[in-house]
Structure 1
Amino acid sequence: MILTKETLSAGPKIGTGEGVAHSKRWYVALVRMHHEKKVAERLDKMGIENFVPVQQEVHQWSDRRKVVESVLLPMMVFVHADPKERKEVLSFSTVSRYMVMRGESSPTIIPDEQMVRFRFMLDYSEEAICMNSAPLARGEKVRVIKGPLTGLVGELVTVDGKSKIAVRLNMLGCACADMPVGYVEPIGGEKSNKLKKSIL
């Protein structure tokens, strides 16, 4: 699926599935180390939608540099499946189980809206995406209005003294990218002190 900025801002029908009668949900399959892409290839052949988040990194040596593709969430593959397909995926010898919330027996569901924002961020961000699994205080809800991530809705947070746009993913923490404060606007209500200072 190719995501566009129009897709992202198309409204609630993307995130909530309103008006769409299907039982497919996004799950996180836990796979054997370094088998993320192989599992994805097999799922593709079976016609089961999946997503392995990757990004390019530049590795520098003394005599050369090389751009490599790295997996952002090792040993995890996002799977968009109905109940029957969900069971079929567990038949893979390289898949151990689905991510489950503590105290629950059913696999954790990643809301469609979170997946749309996460994939959009990976597709369009010019900055490296980092996953923050540590508890992160909720930031102000904002919309990006400048730069390649224009249209993205997320939270404005501060990590290690830097302002970032964050997209939360159930059980996985936050996907974060550097974001100048002046590139966002608050959604509803007045500007926070942080946003006010950026325009003074």
Structure 2
Amino acid sequence: MILTKETLSAGPNIGTGEGVAHSKRWYVALVRMHHEKKVAERLDKMGIENFVPVQQEVHQWSDRRKVVESVLLPMMVFVHADPKERKEVLSFSTVSRYMVMRGESSPTIIPDEQMARFRFMLDYSEEAICMNSAPLARGEKVRVIKGPLTGLVGELVTIDGRSKIAVRLNMLGCACADMPVGYVEPFK
């Protein structure tokens, strides 16, 4: 499915897999440091859908500035796989395991809706996205009505006195981007 502003604002059932009998789920594979893109390339060759969250950053050296692509979540690759593919991924020497919840043995599943919102946020945000693993108090559920993230549904939270839109990801915390209060409306 192609993520667009229209599919995201159409409602939570678009792209969530609700009511669809399929066994593919989103998992978080833990990989060796600096091997995220190599694992993603190998998964692409195998035909397994994956996602490595990256964003552009400006690095300043004494003699120059350069825009570089940096990995937002080091040592993690999101993998959309069925049980057979999930086991194949573990055969990679650069993949150590899947992320699991404390006290459980089965890999944590990231719901399709959360992944769609997270990917949308990364694709359309003009501001840098920050990951916040500290527990955030539940914010008011809002929909963005202005700006590049129009249609995104998330929570309006305040961090260090600044309003941000947050998209929660199971076990990973929240992806947050600056958001003026006037750009959102309450969402039921």
Shorter-chain TM-score bucket reads over 0.9
SS in 2 for 1:151: coil
Question: Structure 1 vs Structure 2: percent identity of aligned residues?
Answer: 97
Following TM superposition, by how much is the alpha carbon of 1:15 offset from its aligned partner in structure 2, in angstroms? 5.0
Alignment match, 1:4 = 4
Following TM superposition, by how much is the alpha carbon of 1:8 offset from its aligned partner in structure 2, in angstroms? 1.0
Following TM superposition, by how much is the alpha carbon of 1:3 offset from its aligned partner in structure 2, in angstroms? 1.9
- What is the CA–CA distance in structure 1 between the aligned matches of 2:89 and 2:5, rounded to whole Å? 31
| Superposed CA offset, 1:65-85 (max 9, x none) | 100000000000000000000
- Contact 1:15 1:114 (8 Å CA) reproduced: no
- Contact 1:12 1:18 (8 Å CA) reproduced: no
2:159 maps to 1:159: yes
- What is the CA–CA distance in structure 2 between the aligned matches of 1:33 and 1:4, rounded to whole Å? 32
Alignment match, 1:193 = none
| Superposed CA offset, 1:52-98 (max 9, x none) | 00000001123211000000000000000000000000000000000
| Superposed CA offset, 1:19-55 (max 9, x none) | 4221000000000000000000000000000000000
SS in 2 for 1:69: strand
- Contact 1:110 1:170 (8 Å CA) reproduced: yes
- Contact 1:14 1:112 (8 Å CA) reproduced: no
SS in 2 for 1:14: coil
Q: TM-score, normalised by structure 2?
A: 0.96
- Contact 1:15 1:111 (8 Å CA) reproduced: no
Structure 2 unaligned blocks of 5 or more: none
SS in 2 for 1:141: strand
- Contact 1:131 1:173 (8 Å CA) reproduced: yes
Which structure is larger by alpha-carbon Rg, 1 or 2?
A: 1
Q: TM-score, normalised by structure 1?
A: 0.90
- What is the CA–CA distance in structure 1 between the aligned matches of 2:170 and 2:149, rounded to whole Å? 22
Structure 1 unaligned blocks of 5 or more: 187-198
What RMSD over aligned residues (CA atoms) do the two structures have, in Å?
2.3
2:55 maps to 1:55: yes
Following TM superposition, by how much is the alpha carbon of 1:179 offset from its aligned partner in structure 2, in angstroms? 0.2
